[in-house]
Amino acid sequence: MIHPRIVAIGTSTGGTHAIEEILKAMPLSCPGIVIVQHIPEQISTAFTKRLNHLCRIEVKEAEDKDQVKPGCALIAPGGKHMSVNFHAGHYCVEVKDGPLINRHRPSVDLLFKTVARHAGDRALGIILTGMGDDGAQGLLEMHQAGARTIGQDPDSCVVYGMPRVAFEIGAVQKQIPLSQVASEIIQFAHG
- The domain containing residue 49 runs over which residues? 6-189
Q: Is residue 1 part of a domain?
A: no
Active site amino acids = 12, 38, 134
Q: What is the mean pLDDT of residues 30-40?
A: 97
pTM over 0.85: yes
Omega within 30 of 0 (cis) for the link into 31: no
Helix (H) or strand (E) segment spanning residue 93: strand 90-96
Residue 113 is assigned to a structural domain of this protein = yes
Instruction: Say if CB 18 and CB 58 are below 8 A apart.
Output: no
Would residue 10 count as lying in a domain? yes
- Is residue 11 in some structural domain? yes
Determine the residue type at 131.
Answer: M
Tens-digit pLDDT profile for residues 167-182 = 999 999 999 999 999 9
pLDDT 10s digits, 125-182: 999 999 999 999 999 999 999 999 999 999 999 999 999 999 999 999 999 999 999 9
Number of domains present in the structure of the chain = 1
Is the pLDDT confidence value at 1 over 70? no
- The predicted-structure confidence for 3-12, as pLDDT tens digits, reads as follows 899 999 999 9
The verdict on residue 120 lying in a domain is yes
Residue 41's pLDDT is what? Answer: 87
Give, in order, the Cα–Cα distances in Å from 140 to each of 82, 90, 92, 135, 181: 18, 24, 22, 8, 19
Q: How far apart are CA 147 and CA 14, in angstroms?
A: 25
By the 10 Å C-beta count (0-12 exposed, 13-18 middle, 19+ buried), 189 is classed as: middle
In a domain, 60, yes or no: yes
Distance of CA 119 to CAs 28, 32, 60, 84, Å?
21, 12, 21, 9
Q: Tens of pLDDT along 73-117?
A: 999 999 999 999 998 899 999 999 999 999 999 999 999 999 999
User: 135: Cβ–Cβ under 8 A, 6 or more apart, which residues?
Assistant: 10, 36, 108, 109, 112, 127, 162, 166
Partnered with residue 32 across adjacent β-strands are 6
CATH number at residue 161: 3.40.50.180
